[in-house]
């Protein structure tokens, strides 16, 4: 069929949008292999030394102020991020799943209001939530650290898990659960043998989504982190404040690749059908 002017405009608009969206990522990928120590925006040659320097491996480039100051500091930041993400994922997955089951299977007063309040942390500006959590922890006398970061992440990660599990629960019918109850199974056996297997892809997808969001969070973590609880996003932000360094491109690409793998796995699990 002959293409109209509107089709061409929409196609050009879509192509331009994708270009603006992914061109910066492509530039980061390219310049993460640039051997120019002084100006990373001027291509000098191909090298893997920036990736080697991240892991503390020997490099061919001369030492300069552009190198990561301490590989141990970077490793500690990665370790803190993983620890926070694991604990926050476990807690938020349990809370989000239980809440989704309660709202999906029961009726009670003010249910719509409760659902709106659960989604509110997702749409609330991060800086507002970060300041609110900081005021709360200071008010109750809790010292900032990894524990406060985990608690703060659970506040908004539970909402993400709730939405994902609720979407999975909406596609399920209560027929199998009712049949299980009619056959004499207890509520626990029905949940274990019937409900949980059907919800498992949604739970796994929500958990992986929560994990990657926790790993990437900067704004909220910035407000509630302690002195010795630097996470990977805070480490990258601290390095960027002293200038854009070539290693940052390599760290960003590794983090992007990890985020893509985890997010893709979560979406795949969430879309599975029993």
- pLDDT tens for 256-269 read 888 788 777 766 76
Q: Across residues 191-205, what is the average pLDDT? A: 82
Q: Which domain holds residue 100?
A: 71-270
Q: Is residue 231 within 8 Å of 77, Cβ to Cβ?
A: yes
Residues in contact with 208: Cβ distance below 8 Å, sequence separation at least 6, in sequence order: 262, 263, 265, 266, 269
What confidence tens digit (pLDDT) does each residue in 155-169 have?
999 999 999 888 888
Are 213 and 112 within one domain? yes
The proportion of the chain whose per-residue pLDDT surpasses 90, expressed as a percent, equals 18
- Residue 62 located in a structural domain: no
Are 100 and 41 within one domain? no
Are 89 and 168 within one domain? yes
- pTM score: 0.78
Are 219 and 182 within one domain? yes
Are 40 and 92 within one domain? no
Question: What 3-state class would DSSP assign to 113?
Answer: helix
What confidence tens digit (pLDDT) does each residue in 5-61 have?
778 888 889 889 989 988 888 888 888 888 777 667 777 778 787 787 777 666 666
Looking at residue 55, what is its pLDDT? 73
Are 9 and 140 within one domain? no
Are 105 and 182 within one domain? yes
**Nearest to residue 248, comparing CAs of 260, 235, 257, 258?**
235
Q: Is residue 157 within 8 Å of 122, Cβ to Cβ?
A: no
**Nearest to residue 225, comparing CAs of 237, 240, 208, 211?**
237
- Report the run of H or E that residue 104 belongs to, with start and end: helix 71-105
CA angle 161, 265, 158 (to 5 degrees): 10
Mean pLDDT (the chain, rounded): 81
- Residue 66 located in a structural domain: no
Query: Structurally, how many domains does the chain consist of?
Result: 2
Are 28 and 87 within one domain? no
């Amino acid at each position: 069929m002959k293409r109209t002017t509107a089709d061409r405009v929409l196609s050009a608009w879509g192509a331009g949008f994708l270009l603006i969206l992914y061109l910066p990522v492509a530039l980061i990928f390219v310049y993460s292999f640039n051997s120019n120590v002084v100006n990373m925006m001027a291509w000098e040659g191909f090298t893997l030394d920036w990736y080697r320097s991240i892991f503390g491996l020997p490099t061919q480039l001369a030492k300069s102020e552009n190198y990561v100051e301490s590989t141990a500091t970077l490793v500690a930041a990665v370790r803190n991020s993983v620890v926070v993400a694991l604990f926050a994922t476990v807690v938020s997955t349990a809370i989000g799943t239980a809440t989704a089951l309660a709202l999906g299977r029961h009726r009670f007063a003010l249910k719509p209001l409760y659902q709106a309040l659960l989604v509110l942390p997702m749409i609330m500006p991060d800086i507002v939530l970060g300041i609110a959590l900081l005021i709360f922890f200071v008010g109750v006398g809790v010292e900032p650290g990894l524990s406060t970061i985990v608690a703060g992440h659970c506040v908004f990660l539970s909402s993400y898990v709730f939405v994902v599990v609720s979407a999975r629960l909406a596609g399920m019918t209560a027929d199998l659960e009712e049949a299980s109850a009619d056959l004499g199974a207890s509520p626990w056996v029905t949940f274990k043998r019937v409900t949980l297997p059907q919800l498992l892809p949604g739970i796994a997808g929500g958990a992986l989504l929560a994990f990657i969001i926790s790993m990437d969070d900067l704004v909220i973590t910035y407000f509630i982190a302690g002195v010795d609880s630097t996470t990977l996003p805070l480490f990258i932000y601290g390095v960027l404040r002293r200038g854009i360094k070539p290693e940052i491109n390599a760290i960003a690409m590794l983090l992007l690749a990890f985020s893509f793998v985890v997010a893709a796995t979560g979406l795949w699990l969430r879309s599975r059908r029993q």
